[in-house]
Structure 1
């Protein structure tokens, strides 16, 4: 039995969460399509039930207490979990669901073109995809698994390695007409585009060319999609994973530079909470994506 005192109604929690975001009862009431007096009553009832003051009231504004700030983070997470579970049930009442966090461009360029195969062979599983760049805790985010880049070091998780990243330097044909490159030394002084999550990638690439990295400059970005567009626009040289470089090269938007497909600074991994080990939809996806990654590893000839 769960003590009733510690299980406020969803209506009370929605009112509290809305007031926390808007800082006024008026705005919260407008969002919830309730009267101001109803929202105030719901919040007062919540405080009474918990035996804790959640707001300091000054004129028409509510200032949350430190306890309310901590409580609201958990309430928001719980409401998100309930919402996702309900959406999954409506979308797929007869089967399991899988909520996956994935790197943005990996999701669009690598996973999405292959995902239909998984869904066709697992028609009882519905999937929810969301993009994440920064790491998060499975305890605070309602995901069943995540695909990330780096090492097998996601806290509190089990891991399956998908494939090692191989990298290729690319620039627009027009850029290379202005700045011909026949040797690694020709890159000295040229703008080398940098990615926040790959701070040592250019050093690794230059070593693979048998050269030391020269002093250089270039824009710093947080996503490959921005880097690709910058390179296409002639703003510098991009260092891209092969699965991205190959597409841009085949379509003529970028051209490769020197040795291609050199080993990068990490691998792509699937990670999941240890408590989800036996969750059937996750097991099915894990088995499929590992086979898919194994079968789709590039041979790395010159592009």
Structure 2
């Protein structure tokens, strides 16, 4: 432990570097931390001296992470997040409040879970739900997480899994785009860009195959990293998207998007709640789990 402390840089230098790495700017980091740009620069320089390597390349008015700086930033962001969670949990314990740290996919959290959380807060005001986001595998042994909501089967040895919502993928597009290109039958969709989600690269091909239509063996259209991005792209008319129906409720109700053809395809995988075996009987987690399963029940096919 003494050896670890010997290599622990000042927290002020770490937070300055993390903010600068996240923003790609000393000016933006200074604004966030409410200090001067010169102070950010000095703290980053101190960290570079401690590490004996450059963390940024300074190019004109921009700062770009070096490969070593990028690797250090990833490790540091996770560590600072854990410190933040530990602080929140300790403060909550002092007031008798219970905290749950539930990792979730960004789009699922923003579009489905958070709009429903006021109901949970009304029913259980004594439980605070923190929602760190994850897009890759999580590690219950390395992170202070009580549970995680993920799609599919992430690597989580020893975790208990509760299936929440299966995907029903449907095509959506703006009414204006469909009218302009005279989309009358499924094959007409080939006239417009077919937007793709990077984690579901075969979705369009599977949808057309379910209708007995061969999909062209060429890239269909732009690819996006998250459903939130692909939905916004569809709303502004960049193309048609194929998305989980439960994530597009808002746009369908507002008529920003429509489903041009009622055909849908399912998936063998689902959005699931994962939690460690050791948390099985945790009272707060059991309450959240039961509430979450009840909320998801309306979307099960």
Instruction: Tell me the TM-score normalized by structure 1.
Output: 0.72
The offset of 1:116, in angstroms, is 1.8
- Inter-partner Cα distance in structure 2 for 1:159 and 1:186: 41
Q: 3-state SS of the aligned residue for 1:185?
A: helix
The offset of 1:57, in angstroms, is 9.1
Evaluate the alpha carbon distance shift between residue 240 and residue 192 of structure 1 in structure 2; reply closer, same or farther with a 3 A threshold.
same
Structure-2 residue corresponding to 1:84: 85
2:253 matches 1:256: no
Structure-2 residue corresponding to 1:219: 222
- Inter-partner Cα distance in structure 2 for 1:174 and 1:15: 52
Number of equivalent positions = 269
Instruction: Name the larger-Rg structure.
Output: 1
Deviations 1:155-192 (A, max 9, x none): 22221110111011011111111223333222234311
Evaluate the alpha carbon distance shift between residue 74 and residue 200 of structure 1 in structure 2; reply closer, same or farther with a 3 A threshold.
closer
Evaluate the alpha carbon distance shift between residue 55 and residue 191 of structure 1 in structure 2; reply closer, same or farther with a 3 A threshold.
closer
Structure-2 residue corresponding to 1:198: 200
Unaligned runs of 5+ in 2: 21-29, 55-69
Bigger CA drift: 12-21 or 269-278? 12-21
Structure-2 residue corresponding to 1:176: 178
- Inter-partner Cα distance in structure 2 for 1:30 and 1:226: 34
Structure-2 residue corresponding to 1:5: 2
Q: 3-state SS of the aligned residue for 1:267?
A: strand
Deviations 1:207-257 (A, max 9, x none): 332322234521100111221121122211111111133321221111212
Structure-1 residue corresponding to 2:139: 137
Deviations 1:117-176 (A, max 9, x none): 2222222211111222222323333322111112x3432222111011101101111111
Evaluate the alpha carbon distance shift between residue 261 and residue 247 of structure 1 in structure 2; reply closer, same or farther with a 3 A threshold.
farther
Contact 2:138–2:156 (8 Å) recurs in 1: no
Structure-2 residue corresponding to 1:277: 280
Evaluate the alpha carbon distance shift between residue 103 and residue 18 of structure 1 in structure 2; reply closer, same or farther with a 3 A threshold.
closer
Instruction: Tell me the TM-score normalized by structure 2.
Output: 0.73
Structure-1 residue corresponding to 2:23: none
Structure-2 residue corresponding to 1:14: 11
Q: 3-state SS of the aligned residue for 1:213?
A: coil
Evaluate the alpha carbon distance shift between residue 291 and residue 77 of structure 1 in structure 2; reply closer, same or farther with a 3 A threshold.
same
Structure-1 residue corresponding to 2:109: 107
Evaluate the alpha carbon distance shift between residue 9 and residue 88 of structure 1 in structure 2; reply closer, same or farther with a 3 A threshold.
farther
- Inter-partner Cα distance in structure 1 for 2:125 and 2:14: 36
